[in-house]
Amino acid sequence: MKRVATVLFLLAVAAAAMVTMGAGSDGGSYKVRAIFDNAGFIITGEDVKVAGVKVGKVESLDVTRDFKAVVVLDIQDRGYQDFRADAKCQIRPQSLIGEKFVECTPTQKRAVDAPAPPPLKKVDEGKGKGQYLLPVENTTRSVDLDLINNVMRLPYRQRLSLIVSELGTGLAGRGSELNQVIRRADPALKEVDKVLALLASQNKVLADLAKNSDTTLAPLARERKHVSSFIDKSSRVAEATAERRADLEADIERLPTFLRELKPTMRRVGALSDEMTPVLSDLGDVAPDVNRLLLELGPFSKAGIPALKTLGDAGKVGTPAMRDALPVVRDLKRLGKVSKPVGKTARMVLESFKKGRGIQRLLDYAFYQVAAINGYDSFGHYLRARLILNTCSRYYTRVVSGCSSKFAASATESSAVSASAAGAGGSPVLQRTSAALAGKDPDSAAPAPTPEPRRKQAPTSRGAAGRPAQQPAAPRAGEGNTKAGAGDTTGPLLDYLFGKDAG
């Protein structure tokens, strides 16, 4: 139970603190109800400053029964929520575009041991209840620059001269009223005394100003015609501005809202500027290179002028060609659309052919087909060939007439002999083969050769295919494979070459 009670007590304390904080936030505001003779162009939301530092804003505007302007100042900075009876507030221009702000002094300067003035009186009832009243004697308003400029243009200039001329006549019989006005203007005279004291303390600065002004005014004196023209045109500009005064006032009234909406954009622009600083720094480092590039770009551009002119001439020739090519391009376009399915099918076929190793399969087919149509006997497959016998197909050891190209170039025609004379030096096997093809007895052409060992090869001749083929010993006429010896393995091949039945 003690633990539960402790938790409940802590929750109650927290709730009380939150209520107190909420009450402080609502009731902790400090609002000054400042009365002005004229608060022209001041709008809600504008700044309230103390010594140039923003401490609050203008909350609302109102008018009193005696037609004075009421400006409610919401002082948000707690350090300045103590306006005294000697506080002063003045409406000042924020910039040349007409934006205003309220400059306040919560209390005047005093000695360290001097007593502090009493605080402002608080309104207890009626309008502005709970606000601190700042009377009209403690408020002022600065004269706008455009009002001063209005004095210099017609008809206000003439009106001012009339006022000054008539003022003497009017004051001649109203000495007492003038005395009262002067007495009431005593605060203004005090301010004039302060201004004069400040000017006296700045004698050296004023002397320098006069000296520098002479230096500045000398060129202006030389150009007085232009200066007078500038003043004349400025007068016209002022007249045109005065004619559009209502529009300017409306624009100035809408300007604070525009500036408030412009602040986020300016923040983003500021962030962009911060991020662009390294880029601009790097760009500054390479500025000499960029300048050199721009300087060298001029000769390059001049050198490119003939090429551009030639390109223009080529364009004149090429334009008709391109126009004439348009029908062909259209036909190609239609052909491309039509052939797209065919190309897709061809691509699929070629991809399938590649994946299935079609080229290798085609070569395998050629190999197996050739192997299938080749001859086959007890020894295996053999290549069918045609034996051609002529003078140059025999093997000779001496030069034979008509076959000298097979011998060295040093051989002469006189050393060549006929094929019949060189027959004795020919190959016996080819002689027997030639006799057998002629239907004669092979033994009558040459004796049967003696069998040679296996390591030696028989003489070779070239067939129709140009390949060397082993030439076996020709059998005797009328003898087949049955009369061949046990070691004779050339019978079937010769039977095939001689056109006999191998079976």
Write the DSSP assignment of 83-116 as a string of letters: -BTT-EEEEEESSTTS-EEEEEESS----TTSPP
Determine the distance from the C-alpha atom of residue 435 to the mean position of all C-alpha atoms in its chain, rounded to a whole number.
Answer: 95
Determine the pLDDT at residue 471. 43
With respect to residue 355, please indicate whether it lies within any of the assigned structural domains. no
With respect to residue 4, please indicate whether it lies within any of the assigned structural domains. no
Of 424, 482, 427, 470, give the one whose Cα is nearest residue 449: 427
Structural domain harbouring 474: 385-407+415-451+458-497
Q: Which of 235, 268, 301 is the last residue of a domain?
A: 268
With respect to residue 378, please indicate whether it lies within any of the assigned structural domains. no
Give counts: helices (H), strands (E), the chain.
13, 12
Determine the pLDDT at residue 426. 55
251 band by pLDDT with thresholds 50, 70 and 90: confident
Same domain (yes/no): 37, 86 = yes
Determine the pLDDT at residue 31. 94
Q: What pTM was computed for the model?
A: 0.32
Give the Cβ contact number of residue 134 at 10 Å.
23
Share of the chain above pLDDT 90, in %: 15
pLDDT tens digits for range 312-349: 888 888 888 888 899 999 999 999 888 888 888 998 98
Determine the pLDDT at residue 450. 61
Residue given tokens 């601190």 in the structure block: 132
Determine the pLDDT at residue 203. 82
Q: What is the CA radius of gyration of the chain?
A: 63
Question: CA–CA separation, 71 vs 29, rounded Å?
Answer: 16
With respect to residue 464, please indicate whether it lies within any of the assigned structural domains. yes
Q: What is the dihedral of CA 357, 359, 362, 367, to 10 degrees?
A: -100
Same domain (yes/no): 86, 169 = no
Determine the distance from the C-alpha atom of residue 299 to the mean position of all C-alpha atoms in its chain, rounded to a whole number.
Answer: 30
With respect to residue 154, please indicate whether it lies within any of the assigned structural domains. yes
Same domain (yes/no): 96, 153 = no
With respect to residue 71, please indicate whether it lies within any of the assigned structural domains. yes
Question: CA–CA separation, 330 vs 351, rounded Å?
Answer: 30
Whether 262 contacts 99, CB under 8 Å: no
Give the Cβ contact number of residue 172 at 10 Å.
9
Q: Among the listed ranges 102-106, 155-159, 368-372, 380-384, which one has the minimum average pLDDT value?
A: 380-384
Determine the pLDDT at residue 12. 56
Where does 428-472 have alpha helices with state H? 428-437, 442-445
Determine the pLDDT at residue 461. 41
Of 142, 119, 141, give the one whose Cα is nearest residue 131: 119
Q: Is the model more confident about 173 or about 290?
A: 290
Of 120, 41, 108, give the one whose Cα is nearest residue 84: 120
Tokens, residue 39: 């608060």
Of 34, 121, 123, give the one whose Cα is nearest residue 70: 34
Give the Cβ contact number of residue 157 at 10 Å.
13
- Domains held by the chain: number: 3
Determine the distance from the C-alpha atom of residue 466 to the mean position of all C-alpha atoms in its chain, rounded to a whole number.
Answer: 72
| Phi/psi of residue 340, nearest 5 degrees | -60, -45
pLDDT tens digits for range 111-152: 888 888 999 999 998 888 899 999 999 998 887 777 777 777
Section 425-451 average pLDDT:
68
The β-bridge relationship of strands 53-63 and 69-75 is: antiparallel
With respect to residue 367, please indicate whether it lies within any of the assigned structural domains. no
3-state secondary structure (DSSP) of residue 191: helix
Determine the distance from the C-alpha atom of residue 7 to the mean position of all C-alpha atoms in its chain, rounded to a whole number.
Answer: 61
Same domain (yes/no): 123, 178 = no
For the chain, the straight-line distance linking the first and the last C-alpha, in angstroms and rounded, comes to 126
Same domain (yes/no): 251, 175 = yes
pLDDT at 75 over 90: yes
With respect to residue 54, please indicate whether it lies within any of the assigned structural domains. yes
Of 100, 34, 56, give the one whose Cα is nearest residue 249: 100
466 band by pLDDT with thresholds 50, 70 and 90: very low
Same domain (yes/no): 447, 475 = yes
Same domain (yes/no): 136, 42 = yes
Same domain (yes/no): 134, 195 = no
| Phi/psi of residue 139, nearest 5 degrees | -125, 150
Of 468, 433, 469, give the one whose Cα is nearest residue 449: 433
Determine the pLDDT at residue 35. 94
Type of residue numbered 12: A
Question: CA–CA separation, 126 vs 273, rounded Å?
Answer: 52
Question: CA–CA separation, 178 vs 165, rounded Å?
Answer: 16
Same domain (yes/no): 192, 128 = no
Q: Which of 75, 108, 142 is the last residue of a domain?
A: 142
Determine the pLDDT at residue 27. 46
3-state secondary structure (DSSP) of residue 394: coil
